[in-house]
Amino acid sequence: MSKYDKLSNEELLRLIEQQEIELETKKYGLVRNKEKEPEKVVLECEHNLPILERVFKKEIKTDETDDNILIEWDNYHALTVLNYTHSEKIDIIYIDPPYNTGNKDFIYNDKYVDKEDGYRHSKRLNFMEKRLKLAKNILKKSGVIFISIDDNEQSQLKLLCDGIFGENNFISKIVIQSNPRWSQASKHLAEVHEYVLVYAKSSNDLNIEGLPKSEENLSEYSSTDKQGKKYRLLGLRQRGGERKREQRPNMFYPLYVNPKDNTISLQKTKTHFIEALPKRPTGEEGRWTWSKDKVNSDIGLLIGKKVNRKDAKNFYDIFRVDYLSDEDGIESMSKPKTIWLEKELNYQNGRNEIKDIFWEDLFDYPKPTFLIKKIVEMVGNKNALIVDFFCCSGTTGHAILKLNNQDGWNRRFILCTNNENKICEEVTYPRIKKVIKWYDKKTWDKEWIEWSWWNLQYFKTSLIKETVSRDQLKINLTGKCTEILCIKENIFNLEQEKDDYKIFTSNQKDKYLCIHYNFKLNSFNEFIANIKKIKWEKTIYTFSLDNVVDESLFKWVDNFRIEPIPQNILNVYKQLIILNIKNY
């Protein structure tokens, strides 16, 4: 029996009218079924608060650098915590979510979603929407997210991301040749590729530095100036899109060439008298790529060259000098292309990387570290903080550690995966550990040798039940929020511990985290006396039922920042839970 059978005609009419209103208000984008079965992990958070518990025995310490983080549990809970600890702090997010092929690759509410499920696409969209909204909150304004996907869901995911991040923040859809031998499962055409969708938090604030130049690119810089600097010449006239005068009329103007030395002027003079206009070989009027102001400021980089043109005996075109390196000798980068064909992107390389560590094939289609390394290098922030909340086997962490070892920079990662089939305990964590503390391959001696200088903290998530009074809930959360605060400050080394306060220090011993739980009021003076001795930078968190701290109590303490707990944590959690619960 349908759930609509018991409704009266009037109730059915009202339901139809409501559906029509919802459709009319949605002018463009995805129209999909609301969740028939609300996600259990979201419902859990309606009456429980997610926290993190540190697994000390899995800590890896090799150096004084900052710590990387691995979180074992559902990524919805982990992202909820990160919305407090890392709001607008993340530079790069890379994720490789389940593709929803129907071949037991996507689990929803503890069940695999198969091809016969009529709500297959809607379930995945609802699943992804909640996590992408949480992910957007943790990105910096200049941050960027990369999402691997194939043809099963790429069109739906593109529309979903347009709605969450904004169409104007869509950067590209990169085509990845991931399987050049093609898939035997392809019925009609040989499938050799996947995609990576790229969205910025704000496209105006995003800076893509580029990629190192290939040998082919380097060969283009065949000219040398008087100082010995290599350069190439690029046409100043716009080629390709928006090349017509009417499209950018302000960029159509004359430049004047001195035929003796090929220098350029914006004004016609006795020396600069040959007019050059941005015209195509067909005679069609085009436009320059530089404005007049840009020409005026960098006119020394422009030269005029006489070129052959039909029906034009004295035609000069304008070129700009593009140096290989800047004044500090740093080589310029190439703008990344939208089709990546390198052989290192092949799935087989990902399989071999895992096989080198575990001595067996564990996954059919793991991403190779080359893909993540290329993504991170392309963005260019050499101290970036990277998040992967579908980290599975840990490829992202592996890639970041390899890249840091190659160039000596200090990128950090936060990884999250569930422990389905013990993947986090038996694959993700061991893989990261073995990359940090490798063994000598030459002799196949499995004695650990420390060949890198990176650290890892391991966490599991848990829940605090909201079955107590509001004040008691705050007390309970305060007692359990230590690990959350350690992650927020990236400070983990316990220096002092008493019943109602703890003091931690950073790996470099230059920052301190001081937490006062207020369980025994008579210990506050002792807490103050201890933190007064610390001359380095301090962050102080102190319990407060009313979310107010009397800073005069700390007037003899220097070089500190203070914040009450736990109300700010509760505020973030409740805002997120209400947002997601109301969508059911």
Can you say whether the dihedral through the CA atoms of 259, 262, 265, 270 is positive or negative? negative
Is-contact 86 509, C-beta < 8 A?
no
User: Which of 2-16, 113-127, 351-365 is predicted most confidently?
Assistant: 351-365
Instruction: Give the alpha-carbon dihedral of 67, 72, 75, 77, to 10 degrees.
Output: -90
pLDDT at 160 over 80: yes
pLDDT at 174 over 80: yes
Pick the more confident residue, 392 or 109.
392
The pLDDT tens digits for 206-215 are: 999 998 888 8
What is the Cα–Cα distance from 490 to 66, expressed in whole angstroms? 7
Third-level CATH fold of 466-581: Trna Endonuclease; Chain: A, domain 1 (3.40.1350)
Question: Chain centroid to CA 156: how far?
Answer: 20
Mean pLDDT of 118-129: 80
What pTM value is reported for the model?
0.84
pLDDT given for residue 170 in this prediction: 97
pLDDT band at 362 (very low <50, low <70, confident <90, very high): confident
Mean pLDDT of 380-406: 94
The pLDDT tens digits for 292-319 are: 999 999 999 999 999 988 777 889 999 9
Beta-carbon contacts of residue 5 (< 8 Å; ≥ 6 apart): none
pLDDT at 437 over 90: no
DSSP structure string for 235-274:
ESB--STT-SGGGSGGG---EEE-TTT--EESS--SS--E
Mean pLDDT of 74-94: 96
pLDDT given for residue 445 in this prediction: 46
Mean pLDDT of 326-330: 82
Q: List beta partners, residue 504.
A: 494, 513
CATH 3.40.50.150 region(s) of the chain? 41-211+336-458
pLDDT given for residue 439 in this prediction: 46
Identify residue 441 by its one-letter amino acid code.
K
Q: SS3 of 355, please?
A: helix
pLDDT given for residue 444 in this prediction: 41
Mean pLDDT of 101-121: 67
- Of the chain, the percentage scoring pLDDT greater than 90 comes to 59
Pick the more confident residue, 541 or 28.
541
444 phi-psi bin (left φ>0, alpha ψ -120 to 50, beta other): left
pLDDT at 428 over 60: yes
CATH 3.40.1350 region(s) of the chain? 466-581
Mean pLDDT of 230-242: 90
493 membership: H or E segment, kind and range: strand 493-498
Helix 75-85 with 567-581: angle, nearest 10 deg: 140
What is the Cα–Cα distance from 212 to 192, expressed in whole angstroms? 25
pLDDT band at 443 (very low <50, low <70, confident <90, very high): very low
Beta-carbon contacts of residue 272 (< 8 Å; ≥ 6 apart): 256, 257, 258, 263, 264, 265
pLDDT at 31 over 60: no
HSE at residue 106, side-chain half, CA atoms within 13 A, is 24
Q: How distant, in Å, are the alpha carbons of 243, 246, 256, 567 from that of 252? A: 10, 9, 13, 59
pLDDT band at 141 (very low <50, low <70, confident <90, very high): very high
Average pLDDT, the chain: 87
- Of the chain, the percentage scoring pLDDT greater than 70 comes to 86
Compute the C-alpha angle 146/149/151, nearest 5°: 145
The pLDDT tens digits for 179-215 are: 887 766 667 888 889 999 999 999 999 999 998 888 8
CATH number attached to the domain at 41-211+336-458: 3.40.50.150
Asked whether the bond before 566 is cis by omega within 30 degrees of 0, the reply is yes
pLDDT band at 442 (very low <50, low <70, confident <90, very high): very low
| Eight-state DSSP code of residue 422 | G
